[in-house]
Amino acid sequence: MEESIIAEEMAINILQTVLEAFICSYYTFILVTIATSREKVFCSAFYILFVSTGIADITSLLLLFVLRLNTELSMGTEFRYIILYCIIFSRAAYLGHMIGNTFITFNRYSSICMMHMYGKIWKRRNVSVIIFAQYAVSIVAVAYTAKSNILYSQNEDGTYKFQGLEPHVAKIVGSTSSTIAAVCSLTSLVFNVKLYVAWRNLLRERDRSTTRNAEKGLLMYALAAFTVMMVMSTGDALFTVASTTENRELFRWINDRIFWINDFMVAVPPIFLLLLSSDLRRAILSIFRPPKPPTFVAPVSRRRGEAFV
């Protein structure tokens, strides 16, 4: 009976590992396609922010994979520094995701509601400043985690079980990151509501051109990204409450599910962007489409004085 339970757990773990490998490969392929494409549309602020946020998502996926192995394999205290820095940078990547998607939502909002100022707002220099702020704020917000010790409990068989960070550190860092996540979620909600209303009004006034259809796809992506933000921020809030209150039962419950929640958070952006962006679909099809054979034109030479027939 025990052997069958262990085998079942191993099957679930293998399934999640394969799924995460697929998500990582697929997401990386999408980012590389956008970054290396010569199409002008992929040089826009939206796609630059998507690539910047995508890098944070892949980083989060890889780091949480290490943290999941730490839980499943009951890795010992000799790995505590690796686990500590994985916690720091995975939480920074999570905040990078939240901040990045907030700016993506604002980008979609300004493209419809602030069209006359769009070019001035989204200059290349301003986009670079936004990306720098995205990562700087994320890292600074979680830097205090480095002062914490990793807490373990020892099992009867001599192995160690991860119990989290020190409560006072978890409280400070968790409150900071949860506040940033809440501000991002609330800001995105306001922009999305205004964006949806403006879009509906726009459809009543103007024809449904190809450009507007493309805008609609990116608008739907922003709404999907907001849904993911709300799911992840809820999970992070529960994780913070469990760590600060030392509620081990809640901590184990959310810790067992946070990896699946993160997988969901990372999987949604590339899938929805592929479904909703015709430009991205064309770029991917052009990669797999066989190149056209070169056309050679044979030169025709005529001798001077030769009669034309």
List the pLDDT tens digit at each of the 309 positions of the chain.
Answer: 334 433 344 434 788 899 999 999 999 999 999 999 988 889 999 999 999 999 999 999 999 999 888 888 877 788 889 999 999 999 999 999 999 999 999 998 898 888 889 889 999 999 999 999 999 999 999 999 988 888 888 777 777 788 878 888 888 888 898 899 989 989 988 988 888 888 777 767 664 554 455 556 666 777 777 777 788 788 778 877 877 777 778 877 887 788 888 898 899 889 888 888 888 999 998 888 776 666 555 555 555 544 434
Residue whose tokens read 């999907």: 224
Residue 107 lies in a domain: yes
What is the domain-level CATH number for residue 75? 1.20.1070.10
- Say if residues 152 and 74 touch (Cβ distance below 8 Å): no
Burial 55-77 (b: 16+ CB within 10 A, else e): bbbbbbbbbbbbbbbbbeeebee
Residue 295 lies in a domain: no
Residue 292 lies in a domain: no
Please name which of 223, 222, 200 lies closest in space to residue 212, comparing C-alpha atoms. Answer: 200
Q: How far apart are CA 56 and CA 70, in angstroms?
A: 21
Residue 309 lies in a domain: no
Amino acid letter for position 260: W
Q: How far apart are CA 206 and CA 6, in angstroms?
A: 61
Q: How far apart are CA 127 and CA 238, in angstroms?
A: 33
Give the count of domains, the chain. 1
Q: Which domain does 166 fall in, by range?
A: 7-287
Residue 190 lies in a domain: yes
Residue 13 lies in a domain: yes
Amino acid letter for position 276: L
pTM: predicted TM-score of the whole model, two decimal places: 0.82
Residue 1 lies in a domain: no
Residue 305 lies in a domain: no
